[in-house]
Amino acid sequence: MDKIYDLAIIGAGPAGMTAGIYAKRAGLETIMFENSAPGGKLVKTFEIDNWPGESRVSGVDLALKMYEHTTSLEIETEFVGIKKINNDIIKTLETEDGRTFKAKAVILATGTIENKMEIPNEDRLTGHGVSFCAVCDGAFYKKKEVVVIGGGNSALEEAVYLTQFATKVTIVIRRDVFRADKVAQEHALDHPKISVIRHTVPIAVVGEDHVTAIRLKDLITNEEYDYPTDGIFPYIGATASTTSVAHLNVLDPLGYMIVNEKMASKVPGLYGAGDVCVKPLRQIVTAVSDGAVAAQMAFLYIQSIK
Ligand code: NDP
């Protein structure tokens, strides 16, 4: 018979890893699943300046510290994605490689995945000039020119990061104003290597084997033109990774998981934590808070069904 864990945590980002730490402290037999590198969005973030206690820390370093914390507690971890969570008193988790795991409670902490621009040649030239991770690929653009699409915190922070390598960084936004907070705007807009093209959207990636330009459309004049560039970094928001629970009727219309103040979904024993949830502020500090609450509430739930 399959082993039954107390708690399965899906996703080893800040929310999932914190849940793991709290679950271990509560004595729960816990298994964590991760389909990529531990750290979630942290490993794609150059620098963090709003993590209390560290005025500046690299995302990769913080991810590593959190992961070392979980490994020091010997939290069992499987590096595989979860395809589907079947709801029952004992939940069954189907992995992407065809295995099943059972647990009394589940915390979904799968975060979000970057939105694509959905324009011609984007897929074909991803990895050949189109990149969704400045931290991973920025160094390939030494002495080159790059374009960042989007005006949120991610776009502006990564644009500043790219100035270490690129000679010129152009940010393209579709409105006149940025969505990013004031500090991020100041850092980016004061930078001598950064310029901004406003009320403009990307309509095609241009290039044969590698990106040579991005085709842009000015939304005021309707003019379309090719803007030469060596690299394109889209940072246009993200979509919740919730396909494993899509059949459970626990999502809002945008696909984020609906949870209450105890991080509980309406399915008993199924919790959410971090960016995957409907919430007003997606930050590392709020993700770790969610993880702690979810683990503690899962602990109480497991006690109640014994
Ligand atoms: P956001 O949703 O905040 O911003 C997305 C940006 O992309 C917006 O400027 C949006 O334009 C633009 N956009 C969306 N779709 C398109 C499109 N099809 N074509 C062109 N532009 C488009 O996403 P982020 O990833 O930046 O941030 C996600 C969350 O994470 C936010 O809550 C953010 O605050 C948080 N975050 C916080 C950080 C920090 O505090 N250090 C760092 C990074 C992220 P428009 O504004 O016109 O809709």
The topology (CATH level 3) of 134-234 is: FAD/NAD(P)-binding domain (3.50.50)
- As beta bridge partners, residue 94 has 84, 100
Under 8 Å between Cβ of 161 and 148: no
Does residue 274's CB lie within 6 angstroms of at least one atom of ligand 1? no
11 CB burial (10 A radius; 0-12, 13-18, 19+): buried
Report pLDDT digits (tens) over 100-128: 999 999 999 999 999 999 999 999 999 99
**Interacting residues of 281 by C-beta distance below 8 A, sequence separation 6+:** none
Q: Measured between alpha carbons, how far is 88 from 222 in angstroms, rounded to an integer? A: 54
Q: Measured in Å, how far apart are the chain's first and last C-alpha atoms?
A: 19
Nearest Cα residue to atom 43 of ligand 1: 154
Q: Measured between alpha carbons, how far is 208 from 94 in angstroms, rounded to an integer? A: 40
DSSP per position, 217-239:
EETTT--EEEEE-SEEEE---EE
What is the model's pLDDT at position 303? 96
Compute φ and ψ for 85, nearest 5 degrees.
Answer: -110, 120
- Residue 64 CB coordination number (10 Å): 16
- Mean local confidence (pLDDT), 37-52: 91
Does residue 200's CB lie within 6 angstroms of at least one atom of ligand 1? no
Is a pLDDT exceeding 90 seen at residue 181?
Answer: yes
If pLDDT is split at 50, 70 and 90, which confidence band does 223 have?
Answer: very high
What is the model's pLDDT at position 45? 87
- As beta bridge partners, residue 218 has 200
- Mean local confidence (pLDDT), 49-61: 93
Q: Which of 301, 290, 284 is nearest to 48 (CA)?
A: 284
Tell how far the Cα of 150 is from the centroid of ligand 1, in angstroms.
Answer: 6
To the nearest whole number, what is the mean pLDDT of the chain?
A: 96
Tell how far the Cα of 137 is from the centroid of ligand 1, in angstroms.
Answer: 20
Helix, strand, coil: what percent of the chain each, to 5? 30, 30, 40
Report pLDDT digits (tens) over 243-294: 999 999 999 999 999 999 999 999 999 999 999 999 999 999 999 999 999 9
What is the model's pLDDT at position 1? 59
Does residue 257's CB lie within 6 angstroms of at least one atom of ligand 1? no
Under 8 Å between Cβ of 258 and 250: yes
If pLDDT is split at 50, 70 and 90, which confidence band does 306 have?
Answer: confident
Q: Which atom of ligand 1 is nearest to the CA of 155?
A: 26
Does residue 58's CB lie within 6 angstroms of at least one atom of ligand 1? no
Q: Measured between alpha carbons, how far is 19 from 31 in angstroms, rounded to an integer? A: 11
- Mean local confidence (pLDDT), 38-63: 92
What is the model's pLDDT at position 203? 98
Cα dihedral 196, 200, 201, 204 sign: negative
Collapsing DSSP to helix, strand or coil, 43 comes out as: helix
DSSP per position, 48-67:
ES-BTTBSSEEHHHHHHHHH
* Domain covering 4-114+238-305 in this structure, CATH number: 3.50.50.60
Instruction: Give the residue numbers marked as catalytic.
Output: 133, 136-137
What are the extents of the domains in the chain?
4-114+238-305, 134-234
4-114+238-305 and 134-234: identical CATH topology: yes
Under 8 Å between Cβ of 156 and 185: yes
